[in-house]
Amino acid sequence: MRSVMLVDDEPLIVKGMQAIIDWDQNNMQIAGTACNGLEALAMMDEGPVDLIITDIMMPQMTGLELIREIRERSPYTKFIILSGYEEFKYVREGISLGVENYLLKPVNMDELEATIKHMQRDWEQEEIRQIQMDQSWRILRNNILQRWANETIDAKEFRERAQLLEIPMNKSNYCAAALRIVGDDEGNDPQKIHLAGIAEKCELLGNQGLPDGCGVICFPDQEGDIMLLFVSASTEDRGGWHLQALSRMKQAVAEVTGARAWGIIGQSESTYLGFPKSCKSVKLWLQNHLFMEGDTFIMQVESEEDANPYQEKPGPAMEQFHKLLRDGEGTEVDRFIDEVFMVEGKECCFPRTPFFNSAIQLMLAAKELEKTPDYGEIFGPLSRIHTLSKLKQLVRKTVHRTLNTYHTAEKTYSPHIMSVLEVVKNHYQDELSLKTLSQRLELHPNYLGQLFQQEVGTTFSDYVNQYRIERATHLLLYSDKKTAEIAGEVGYWDSTYFYRQFKKYAGVSPTELRSIYMKK
């Protein structure tokens, strides 16, 4: 609600304006009244008001003098001038001072109300512009902070931008932290959360009740985490204020989104130049760990060993698993998967690598039973999985989808299609086309293409690409060959085309696949 001050040495006029105009209806309230300019000026010490309606001719200080004084103190206050004199010099000076309107006494209330409504529209537009300016400023700051954290900004450019965007560079302690928002089975999807808005709210809460010289800046990163910059003027911890602030923000995220959030605090650095290093330790920790379901937690990264743990874990007994798959023992398959992902103790997080490797081995074993495996079902969701239970859920879903199709009645292909499939199996490295194969089988290419799609359920080109991607996947995971070499071995002589096709059918690039499946 906007605030209004009425200033006039005639009490009847003040009372009349208070009573005649429905201020509530105009979303305004009378903040005070004064009988001269000096009295009004003293009242402004208690706080600015949005609108002052003032007479011009008053004892001790005129309305125009009052306007000049208040303009210096409160540049956003608006003014309406009242006068019993129709003198051009008052009108001209009022216009030069930027008043909204100049009204003669007795005041025409319709004109006054029209002026107020016009000002309401101006205020609304100003608010919209201010919001847009704030959002633009925040978007720019988020972008600079992301580039700073990733070390993709020139040092000189960062210093210039930091000064403009009020990013502190002269503190004694810099520390990165992250809030990772994790969805659950109730439909809370972190991908649909407005991270910028959540980060803004976290920053407001995080800065409440901090020790002197301390501060928090929050910004979303491109991986869906909310990154935090803790700064302080002292190298001392001061009672763990980082933990207290992060705990408040973590709780707020859970309340606003309905999703769980984990908090990770990185190592402290003595200058702003060390912030990217602290960010890396946090992101590395998140990259290398899986969480348990249940309560959220806050973890502090103390060393590089914390961020990059190593855990010996025997892989699954694949011969036994292959047999269970061929036998179609769904219950036994589930029991086998449960044992692979069984953990002991009450740890809240585990090294990611051994569990991811086991998961990929199990899912690839299932895919080997499919005639046209879709590797996107495996590798696409992996980058979005952060909990052990979600990983086990993905393995079960993938394996059961294969079992449901593999153990249905075996499809019998016609001799022509059997010949085509045999050629693909033995010569997938070569250039293959329906035209060449149709000549060998003495069939029209169009007829062979229709027959292939009818019996196999996909086009010939899709089948060949999927088969090649299957062979490439095995080479990427189980050999040290370079990607370009693998592309040639499976029939792609253009590496760029191979990358595009691999991404299309596997859901990730060859490089991303190898980074997901990290053999220790």
Q: Is residue 83 part of a domain?
A: yes
Same domain, 177 and 221: yes
**Element at 176 (helix H, strand E):** strand 173-182
Judge if 401 and 506 occupy the same domain.
no
Strands (DSSP E) found in 59-100: 78-83
- Which amino acid makes up residue 511? T
Alpha-carbon distance of 121 to 140, in angstroms, equals: 28
- Does residue 48 form part of some domain? yes
Q: What CATH number is attached to the domain comprising 86?
A: 3.40.50.2300
| Buried/exposed code over 319-348 (b: 16+ C-beta within 10 A; e: otherwise) | eebeebbeeeebeebbebbeebbeeeeeee
Rounded distance, CA 133 to CA 229, Å?
Answer: 23
Q: What are phi and psi of 193, to 5 degrees?
A: -85, 135
Among 331, 329, 289, residue whose Cα is nearest residue 306 = 289
Q: Which tokens hold the place of 71?
A: 């303009």
Counted domains in the chain: 4
As averages over each run of 10 residues, the pLDDT of the chain (520 residues) reads 90 86 87 90 86 88 87 86 72 73 81 86 76 74 91 90 88 92 56 78 89 91 90 77 89 82 88 92 87 71 65 78 80 89 78 87 84 74 82 89 66 81 88 88 88 86 88 84 90 89 85 68
| Residue 34, beta-bridge partner list | 7
Q: Which residues contact 321 (CB under 8 A, 6 or more apart)?
A: 333, 336, 362, 365
Pair 277, 361 in one domain: no
pLDDT at 273: 92
Q: What strand order describes the sheet that includes 173-182?
A: 215-220, 225-232, 173-182, 260-269, 298-300
For 133, the enclosing helix (H) or strand (E) is helix 109-149
Residue 11 lies in a domain: yes
Give the structural domain span for 273: 168-302
Domain final residue, candidates 79, 107, 135? 107
Quote the CA–CA distance of 290 and 385 in Å, as a whole number: 8
Output DSSP code: residue 184: -
User: Are the CB atoms for 211 and 238 separated by under 8 Å?
Assistant: yes
Dist CA 316 CA 480 (whole Å): 22
Residues 298 and 208 in one domain: yes
The CA distance from 82 to 476, in Å, is 83
Question: What are residue 80's phi and psi, to 5 degrees?
Answer: -125, 130
What H or E segment, with its residue span, contains residue 267? strand 260-269
CA distance 255 to 249: 10
Q: What CATH number did the domain enclosing 235 receive?
A: 3.30.70.1230
Q: Cα 153 from chain centroid?
A: 20
Q: Would you state the pLDDT for residue 517?
A: 66
Let me know if residue 157 belongs to a domain: no
Same domain? 187 vs 282: yes
Residue 328 and residue 288 share a domain: no
- Asked whether residue 247 falls in the same domain as residue 322, the answer is no
**Cα separation of 413 and 416, whole Å?**
8
Query: Do residues 278 and 369 both lie within one domain?
Result: no
Cis-peptide into 373, omega within 30 deg: no
Task: Provide the strand spans (E) within 84-172.
Answer: 101-104
485, part of any domain: yes
Which of 255, 277, 302 is the last residue in one of the domains? Answer: 302
- Asked which of 406, 428, 456 is the last residue of a domain, the reply is 406
The answer to whether residues 247 and 277 belong to one domain is: yes
pLDDT for 381 equals 81
487-512 in b/e form (b: 16+ CB < 10 A) is: bebbbbeebeebbebbbebbbbebeb
163-187 in b/e form (b: 16+ CB < 10 A) is: eebebbeebebbbbbbbbbbbeeee
Pairing of strands 215-220, 349-351: unpaired
CA distance readout (Å), 63 to 52, 103, 327, 428: 10, 13, 95, 91
**346 and 446 share one domain:** no
Strands (E), 305-400: 349-351
